[in-house]
């Protein structure tokens, strides 16, 4: 077999493969024997029909197609290895010339990964805005903790304050007509943390259990139901119960209820560890993002349009799924933003994803960063922890789907490359810009 290659535009290579006539003839004869076992020819048992009869019944061209289907995968694989081609897509046959007794020629095209050239990817110094934990972060964490252990006690004889919880019935009306989904019985509302229409919760303050009254509100202009946008509404209210929030005292007894802590000091130490780790994770993320941005901005790569289109289609599929989960549709998005804007944004995101992926792969190759069995096992352990199951269960699931194994391997490789970049570049933290 001989192969010649010709580089075309957009990272496409044309392969010209020549297969010896003798080899092609042998494979043709083998194909005849294979096909004879699978087809029924009147007057002959399976596998016993002469070649000339087989050719007459199914046609020599069909046999040649079978020969090519059998031979080309290995021929392409050999050509790719011999020419050290980093292929992005499988070869596509453009034409072939197959005459028995003559050399077989096949012309195919294959798309290659773009060549990546770096200006620099290590021994750099980059400035990163440092994330710092808010001064009142500990206080907020403790407040949230106390909220979880807060009890609600019914109060008698006094009106609701802005810090109370009320149980109430309501019926909503717009233009005298009931609002669809705008009524409820014995609804529980925390007046200090209401997500109702602006001004709604405030008008419940000052009312006692047993009171019935009407409040007036106006729906926001950007309300999720277009029929109600900016509409004035009335709600008939009946207060059933007023409850006071009783926050617990932060003491050693509460600390023991929260977790395996003997004292408040131990609890606060654990919270501080959480806050410190959160800050580290955020800063690592910022450092990685800045390094990626710097490297990609200065690397040279020619990403072909076909590659961008394929990645864009993946993004479109993901986007459609996410939009559907919100109750909207792809058509709604197009209607609101316009096809040109959506298409441009998706292409830009596709290009960024491709460049980052190519950067990762090229650095892994240059630095001989590879995935080991231990790396994959670690990812499986992380999934087992996330889904609260054992590693064996996760392994059984992913072993059924090769794409999942490939995805986990890529994640593990990306993590190793990211660590390499963090370890081999200098980060200078600067104050976070005020927004």
CATH number for position 425: 1.10.3120.10
End-of-domain residue from the set 190, 222, 246: 246
Of the candidate ranges 91-100, 305-314, 328-337, the one whose mean pLDDT is the lowest: 328-337
User: Does one domain contain both 345 and 306?
Assistant: yes
Helix (H, G, I), strand (E, B) or coil at 34: helix
Helix (H, G, I), strand (E, B) or coil at 105: strand
Q: Quick one: pLDDT at residue 18?
A: 94
- % of residues, the chain, pLDDT over 70: 98
Q: pLDDT grade, residue 125 (50/70/90)?
A: very high
State pLDDT tens for residues 19-76. 999 999 998 888 888 877 777 777 676 666 777 777 777 788 888 888 899 899 999 9
Q: Quick one: pLDDT at residue 45?
A: 66
Q: pLDDT grade, residue 427 (50/70/90)?
A: very high
Range of the domain at 24: 2-112
User: Does one domain contain both 270 and 367?
Assistant: yes
End-of-domain residue from the set 246, 270, 288: 246
Is pLDDT of 161 > 70?
yes
Q: Quick one: pLDDT at residue 131?
A: 95
User: Does one domain contain both 215 and 331?
Assistant: no
Q: Quick one: pLDDT at residue 422?
A: 96
**What CATH number is given to the structural domain containing 203?**
3.10.50.40
State pLDDT tens for residues 348-372. 999 999 999 999 999 999 999 999 9
User: Does one domain contain both 264 and 411?
Assistant: yes
Residue 319 contacts residue 346 (beta carbons within 8 Å): yes
User: Does one domain contain both 319 and 387?
Assistant: yes
Q: Quick one: pLDDT at residue 46?
A: 67
- Characterize 225-262 residue by residue with b for buried, 16 or more Cβ atoms within 10 angstroms of its Cβ, and e for exposed: eeebeebebbbebbbebbbebeeeebeeebbeebeebe
User: Does one domain contain both 200 and 294?
Assistant: no
In a domain, residue 216? The reply is yes
User: Does one domain contain both 192 and 271?
Assistant: no
Cα(267)–Cα(234) distance, rounded to whole angstroms?
A: 47
End-of-domain residue from the set 246, 273, 304: 246
In this prediction, residues 84-110 reach a mean pLDDT of 92
In a domain, residue 121? The reply is no
Q: What are phi and psi of 368, to 5 degrees?
A: 55, 45
Residue 245 contacts residue 164 (beta carbons within 8 Å): yes
State pLDDT tens for residues 374-413. 988 888 888 888 888 888 888 888 888 778 888 888 999 9
Residue 25: CB partners within 8 Å, gap ≥ 6? 100, 101
CA distances from 116 to 109, 135, 138, 334, 357 (A): 21, 44, 46, 35, 11
Q: pLDDT grade, residue 212 (50/70/90)?
A: very high
Structure tokens at 334: 């197009």
User: Does one domain contain both 171 and 100?
Assistant: no
User: Does one domain contain both 287 and 314?
Assistant: yes
In a domain, residue 119? The reply is no
User: Does one domain contain both 32 and 168?
Assistant: no
User: Does one domain contain both 225 and 332?
Assistant: no
Q: How high is the mean pLDDT of the chain?
A: 91
Number of domain units in the chain = 3
**What CATH number is given to the structural domain containing 15?**
3.30.70.1050
In a domain, residue 146? The reply is no
Within 10 Å of residue 302's Cβ, how many Cβ atoms?
11
- % of residues, the chain, pLDDT over 90: 65
In a domain, residue 15? The reply is yes
User: Does one domain contain both 282 and 413?
Assistant: yes
In a domain, residue 64? The reply is yes
Say how far residue 240 (Cα) sits from the centre of its chain. 46
Say how far residue 407 (Cα) sits from the centre of its chain. 11
In a domain, residue 76? The reply is yes
């Amino acid at each position: 077999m001989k192969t010649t290659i010709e580089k075309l535009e957009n990272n496409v290579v044309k392969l010209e493969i020549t297969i010896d006539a003798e080899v092609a003839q042998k494979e043709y004869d083998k194909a005849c024997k294979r096909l004879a076992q699978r087809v029924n020819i009147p007057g002959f048992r399976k596998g016993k029909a002469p070649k000339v009869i087989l050719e007459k019944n199914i046609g020599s061209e069909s046999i040649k197609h079978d020969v090519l289907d059998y031979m080309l995968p290995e021929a392409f694989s050999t050509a790719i290895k011999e020419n050290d081609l980093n292929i992005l897509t499988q070869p596509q046959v453009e034409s072939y010339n197959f005459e028995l007794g003559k050399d077989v020629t096949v012309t195919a095209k294959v798309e290659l990964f773009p060549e990546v050239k770096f200006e620099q990817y290590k021994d750099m110094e980059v400035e990163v805005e440092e994330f710092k934990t808010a001064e009142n972060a500990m206080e907020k964490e403790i407040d949230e903790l106390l909220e979880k252990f807060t009890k609600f006690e019914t109060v008698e004889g006094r009106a609701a304050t802005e810090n109370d919880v009320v149980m109430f019935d309501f019926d909503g009306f717009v233009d005298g007509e009931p609002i669809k989904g705008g009524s409820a019985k014995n609804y529980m509302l925390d007046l200090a943390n209401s997500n109702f229409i602006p001004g709604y919760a405030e008008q419940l303050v000052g009312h006692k259990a047993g009171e019935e009254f009407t409040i007036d509100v106006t729906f926001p202009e950007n309300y999720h139901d277009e029929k109600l946008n900016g509409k004035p509404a009335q709600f008939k209210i009946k207060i059933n119960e007023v409850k006071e929030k009783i926050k617990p005292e932060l003491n050693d007894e509460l600390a023991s209820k929260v977790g395996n802590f003997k004292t408040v000091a131990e609890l606060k130490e654990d919270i501080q560890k959480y806050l410190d780790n959160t800050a580290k994770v955020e800063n690592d993320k910022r450092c990685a993002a800045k390094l990626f941005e710097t490297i990609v901005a200065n690397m040279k790569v020619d990403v072909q349009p076909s590659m961008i289109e394929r990645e864009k289609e993946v993004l479109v599929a993901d986007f459609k799924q996410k939009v559907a989960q919100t109750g909207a549709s792809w058509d709604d998005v197009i209607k609101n933003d316009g096809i040109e804007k959506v298409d441009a944004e998706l292409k830009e995101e596709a290009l960024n994803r491709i460049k980052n992926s190519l950067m990762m792969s090229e650095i892994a190759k240059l630095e001989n960063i590879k995935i080991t069995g231990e790396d994959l096992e670690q990812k499986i352990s992380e999934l087992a922890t996330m889904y609260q199951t054992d590693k064996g269960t996760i392994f059984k699931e992913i072993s059924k789907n090769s794409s999942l194994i490939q995805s986990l391997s890529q994640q593990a490789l990306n993590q190793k490359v990211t660590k390499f970049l963090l370890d081999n570049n200098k980060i200078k933290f600067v104050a976070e810009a005020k927004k």
